[in-house]
Structure 1
Amino acid sequence: MGEVHALNPEVGFEGPCMGLKSLRRKILEESKVTWYIAGPAILASVFQFSIGFVTVVFVGRLGSTELAAVSIVQNVIEDFAFGVLLGMGSALETLCGQAVGAGQFNMLGIYMQRSWIITCVTAMVLSPFYIFSSPVLKLFHQSDDISEMAGKYSVLVIPQLFAYAINFPLQKFLQSQSKVMVMTAISGVSLMVHILLSWVFVTKLNYGLAGAAAAGNISWWIINLAQIIYVVSGFFPEAWTGLSWLAFHSLAAFVKLSLASAIMLCMNLELCTLMVALGFNAAVSVRVSNELGAGRPKAAKFSVIVNVAASAMFGILFMVIIFSTRNDFPKLFTTDPTVMTATSKLGTLLAFTMFLNSIQPVLSGVAVGAGWQTLIAFVNVGCYYLFGLPIGAVLGYKFNLGAKGIWSGMLLGGLLQTLILIFITIRTNWEKEASQAEDRIQTWGGITEARESTGC
């Protein structure tokens, strides 16, 4: 933790009087701290995202129907569940990050256990979406053969749903303490195992979709078991003191914050495809929550500026790459000329989406770090349901633009959301946020429950 907390931009900030050399030095220092968290977080996100990517690559060789079925399950059912559970787990990001900043490590394990209770119950609630996905897809006029195959596959990957429920609180627990290198190594090894299992089950043994699902289930639970072993093996003597009945205290308030987080994040499913932005999302969330918890508002504001600027530059790079290769990247997934042509036509929209999603997740990370989940949840619902989706429906169905029209509407909704997030961030009183962080730590048991957990 020493490296992360060595930077204190509160010292030496004199506004307009600060010299250019001093500003450059502080930018470099903040960038170093950011990449200490963001770099491994990006790799971990890439490795975990690639589990699904590898599955699609292997399944795509089975046939176009199999590819369509698995793609629907991943992009609709699993992405929705992923977004909800990631959001529910993100309440932990605010509380753990600010507790670390305040030096109250003994509450982190209790917060994680509370989050496990909530995410596992949420996974149980989401299970019917997996079980009854086939009739739901038919209800939305998906073809019978694809719906039936997607329904069978979605039931087989229910273990991954509960793996997400365990994984996200673990991630937030580790990220809040900047312990991301081990998480990255575990994810990398699991990806290698997944590639091997997919080759054996799908290609060598011809188990088809059942083999693809089994490979994914095993790989995700390897990640969880390895991380749990790391947490309970004595590397976190202050943060993890074992299972505690305190995990069942204040669950109602924890659920409220978790639901706000879920609404905030599950409206942004496309951000899951941009792993670099998610790395900066994790970094800025940790930095903002740590600095606000430590009572350093100027440091939090400075971190926001550096993170948004860095992620935006990567967004421009990705936009250029996607736009220039829009006719080639569909070949990674299929050999069907019709599918490749249809996908290529959406390349331009994907390129602009990648740029937009390089900024929006970082601003969402700022919101999580500062504890604005409820406000941002309302913003997201308004931008997507009241603005983006209606426009997409009109363009897609009224003007017969199909997928391009629907995507355009969602892109406009995302643009409006990003502009609002920028406005909120610019107008933020960071001194007030630091004061509220101190109040939040005390309200959520930073003092009272910490004494109970230690028996003092």
Structure 2
Amino acid sequence: MDTTPLIRSGREEEEAAPPQKVQPDEDDTPVRSISDAWKVFLTESRKLWVIALPIGFSILCLYGMNSITQIFVGHIGNLQLSAVAISLSVINNFAFGFLLGMGSALETLCGQAYGAGQVEMLGVYMQRSWIVLLVSCVAMLPIYIFATPILKLLGQDEIIAEAAGHFALLIIPQMFAMAVNFPTQKFLQAQSKVLVLAWIGGVAILLHVALLSLFVFVFHWGLTGVAAAFNTSMWLVSLAQVAYVMGWCKDGWTGFSSSAFKEIWAFVRLSLASAVMLCLEIWYMMVLIVLTGHLGNAEIAVGSISICMNINGWEGMVFIGINAAISVRVSNELGSGRPRATLHSVINVVATSLVIGLAAMVFILGARDYFPIIFTSDKEMQRAVSNIAGLLGVTMVLNSIQPVISGVAIGGGWQALVAYINLGCYYAFGLPLGCIFGYVFDWGVEGIWAGMLCGTALQTLILLVMIWRTNWKDEVNQAAERVRLWGGQDDSDAPVKLQN
């Protein structure tokens, strides 16, 4: 499978170097029995969860900052609560998704360079990503500056739009903090130095609560105090990660380098492909909530979907950690020239995620008449949630596999290809089908959701087939080429290439 069109211009140089064969004992041994399979499962599971759990915890801490911020704002006033909720969920989430996607390009490059033993290149890649993301922040400034007219154009209440636009201006500094945060985070993830991320996240959320209490309840600064706490907390996380990198990662960080400006356009293209791939996935389910707002009895439709998406979102936090972990595992193994170990990692994570998804579905179906009570006391709303709980269960199964496969794609450097697949499956197939089921067939919210799930199912099936048909030895060779070309190496310094 050819998945590196961004670096094709250098293939002639790479072919000039004679391929070297990796020694068989460097890769995993073949699985020939149930006993072998069980040993591989235990080994891969340990490697996966050692990375996934700390990353998942750190993401939950960052996710919790938004929730805690809204809790404190709720004690200021209803208008302020609505304004902050809209500002964070619409304006800031757009920037968050785009920057996180841009930063995920680093998972491919850092992971493969680390696996290939080119550890000194990690710092260069991180600096290159800082440059790209900071420039992206400048390009996205108009979204924050003109947040009020944008929200009014989307049909938001004028008073809420004004307040939300004011808050969006106040939190511009944290957008730049994210541009520093994500590349540094990927730099550490690639080396499996993830415990520090968990510690920083845990300390940061405690400091965030303290700052909010001080600025809101002691100084009475209102939304200005909330924004100050939010900006400060995000920058503390970013600067703590940078301090750790510069102070304790001497192998990967060798100082600022002019090499960060080389191959910048190719890096931008991979970053944009990563951002598009991730954003198309994040925004897809957000469209579901927008579409249900145009149905009859929209209050019940939107409320029931929102409750289900809330539950699905918490499951999603688990799989963001697994997504990052498998991305690290795949990129490291490809960079190390271990195709069979890569395949074992992929099979293990897909099977593990499927089991978790099925368990979540069974729980939801068993509790379909009970869990809605947690969110609402309205009987009609409870019945509406119970009626679509089956679709929630199916969504949780699909969303257990899909993010994991996306992590495999990031680890392998397939972002551009997956972006096209997402565009076709989600927006050319699933979205129109959902509209037909919901509006033409008059199946309501169930029809819209079912149609969009068909798009998710098609995308998942295509990616599974793609993984099944992948020649992992070819992927190892492409990873070696990517590390050499983007690291500015000569042929004599090229990582080992496998023979088919």
Taking structure 1 as the reference length, the TM-score comes to 0.87
Following superposition, the deviation at residue 163 of structure 1 comes to 1.3
Comparing 417-426 with 88-97, greater Cα deviation is found at: 417-426
Q: Is the 8 A contact 1:85 1:262 kept in 2?
A: yes
Following superposition, the deviation at residue 415 of structure 1 comes to 2.8
Partners of 1:412 and 1:347 in 2: how far apart?
16
Equivalent runs, 1:41-60 vs 2, <5 Å:
41-60=55-74
Are 2:263 and 1:240 equivalent residues in the alignment? Answer: no
Aligned to 1:368: 410
Compared CA separation, residues 422 and 158, structure 1 to 2 (3 A): same
Following superposition, the deviation at residue 199 of structure 1 comes to 3.0
Aligned to 1:268: 281
Compared CA separation, residues 223 and 339, structure 1 to 2 (3 A): farther
Following superposition, the deviation at residue 295 of structure 1 comes to 0.9
Q: Secondary structure at the match of 2:38?
A: helix
Partners of 1:343 and 1:133 in 2: how far apart?
34
Structure 1, unmatched stretches of 5+, are: 1-7, 452-456
Aligned to 2:375: 330
Following superposition, the deviation at residue 402 of structure 1 comes to 7.6
Q: Is the 8 A contact 1:388 1:414 kept in 2?
A: yes
Q: Secondary structure at the match of 1:141?
A: coil
Are 2:114 and 1:100 equivalent residues in the alignment? Answer: yes
Q: Deviations over 1:252-303 (max 9, x none)?
A: 1111111111111111226975221011111111111111111111110110
Aligned to 1:255: 268
Comparing 398-407 with 409-418, greater Cα deviation is found at: 398-407
Following superposition, the deviation at residue 442 of structure 1 comes to 1.4
Equivalent runs, 1:17-166 vs 2, <5 Å:
18-166=32-180
Letter aligned with residue 170 of structure 1: T
Comparing 275-284 with 209-218, greater Cα deviation is found at: 209-218
Partners of 2:329 and 2:194 in 1: how far apart?
14
Aligned to 1:219: 233
Letter aligned with residue 265 of structure 1: L
Comparing 425-434 with 221-230, greater Cα deviation is found at: 425-434
Q: Deviations over 1:159-218 (max 9, x none)?
A: 221111111100110000000001110011001111222233345554433333222211
Following superposition, the deviation at residue 249 of structure 1 comes to 0.7
Aligned to 2:203: 189
Partners of 2:392 and 2:84 in 1: how far apart?
20
Q: Is the 8 A contact 1:90 1:261 kept in 2?
A: yes
Comparing 100-109 with 386-395, greater Cα deviation is found at: 386-395
Aligned to 1:299: 341
Structure showing greater Rg: 2
Letter aligned with residue 254 of structure 2: T
* The one of 382, 390, 398 aligned to 2:424: 382
Q: Is the 8 A contact 2:357 2:396 kept in 1?
A: yes
Q: How many residues align?
A: 436
Partners of 2:181 and 2:445 in 1: how far apart?
33
Structure 2, unmatched stretches of 5+, are: 1-24, 286-311, 494-500
Following superposition, the deviation at residue 122 of structure 1 comes to 0.8
Partners of 1:450 and 1:196 in 2: how far apart?
55
Following superposition, the deviation at residue 321 of structure 1 comes to 5.4
Q: Deviations over 1:44-92 (max 9, x none)?
A: 1111111112122333444544333333323222222111111111111
Aligned to 1:416: 458
Q: Secondary structure at the match of 2:120?
A: helix
Q: Deviations over 1:303-333 (max 9, x none)?
A: 01111222233334444556636424436xx
Compared CA separation, residues 319 and 196, structure 1 to 2 (3 A): farther
Compared CA separation, residues 389 and 56, structure 1 to 2 (3 A): farther
Q: Is the 8 A contact 1:330 1:340 kept in 2?
A: no
Compared CA separation, residues 148 and 353, structure 1 to 2 (3 A): farther
Q: Is the 8 A contact 1:322 1:347 kept in 2?
A: no
Letter aligned with residue 280 of structure 1: I
Q: Is the 8 A contact 2:200 2:240 kept in 1?
A: yes
Q: Is the 8 A contact 1:187 1:223 kept in 2?
A: yes
Letter aligned with residue 264 of structure 2: L
Partners of 2:108 and 2:482 in 1: how far apart?
10
Compared CA separation, residues 174 and 339, structure 1 to 2 (3 A): farther
Q: Secondary structure at the match of 2:104?
A: helix
Partners of 1:184 and 1:366 in 2: how far apart?
23
* The one of 169, 184, 187 aligned to 1:170: 184
Partners of 2:361 and 2:232 in 1: how far apart?
34
Letter aligned with residue 260 of structure 2: A
Taking structure 2 as the reference length, the TM-score comes to 0.80
Q: Is the 8 A contact 2:134 2:179 kept in 1?
A: yes
Q: Secondary structure at the match of 1:121?
A: helix
Letter aligned with residue 166 of structure 1: V
Q: Is the 8 A contact 2:56 2:318 kept in 1?
A: yes
Compared CA separation, residues 403 and 19, structure 1 to 2 (3 A): closer
Compared CA separation, residues 359 and 220, structure 1 to 2 (3 A): same
Q: Is the 8 A contact 2:438 2:444 kept in 1?
A: yes
Q: Is the 8 A contact 2:28 2:340 kept in 1?
A: no
Q: Is the 8 A contact 1:107 1:450 kept in 2?
A: no
Partners of 1:347 and 1:54 in 2: how far apart?
29
Q: Is the 8 A contact 2:434 2:449 kept in 1?
A: yes
Q: Secondary structure at the match of 2:102?
A: helix
Aligned to 1:441: 483
Following superposition, the deviation at residue 393 of structure 1 comes to 4.7
Partners of 2:345 and 2:253 in 1: how far apart?
28
Following superposition, the deviation at residue 427 of structure 1 comes to 1.6
Partners of 1:339 and 1:264 in 2: how far apart?
37
